[in-house]
């Protein structure tokens, strides 16, 4: 366990950031899961709307350093390809 006041404060801060990051990642994953349900149901219109929201969530996660840039780009690319194949 840390001893100095500064280290204790940094530890508390990291725990708060960890919770925020986990919430954000969970929100992204739930959105991706719902998008994949629309894709499985062959519902193109709903999938396109959902894809825009998923891309927005991924961009916000990258902006806050929750996800890496290439990870988000890879996920967006694969999901958009799945939606495009619905045609």
pLDDT tens for 2-20 read: 589 999 999 999 999 999 9
Nearest CA to 73 out of 54, 86, 49, 50 is that of: 54
- Contact by Cβ (8 Å): 11, 2: yes
Q: Where are the domains of the chain?
A: 5-84
Burial readout 56-76 (b: 16 or more C-beta within 10 A, e: otherwise): ebbeebbeeebbeeeebeebe
Q: Which residues of the chain have pLDDT under 50?
A: none
CATH number of 5-84: 1.20.58.110
């Amino acid at each position: 366990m840390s001893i100095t006041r500064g280290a204790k404060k940094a530890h508390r801060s990291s725990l708060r950031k960890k919770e925020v990051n986990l919430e954000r990642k969970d929100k992204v994953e739930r959105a991706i899961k719902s998008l994949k349900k629309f894709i499985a149901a062959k519902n193109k219109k709903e999938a396109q709307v959902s894809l825009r929201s998923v891309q927005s969530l991924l961009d916000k996660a990258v902006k806050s350093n929750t996800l890496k840039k290439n990870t988000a780009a890879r996920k967006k690319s694969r999901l958009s390809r799945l939606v495009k194949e619905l045609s």
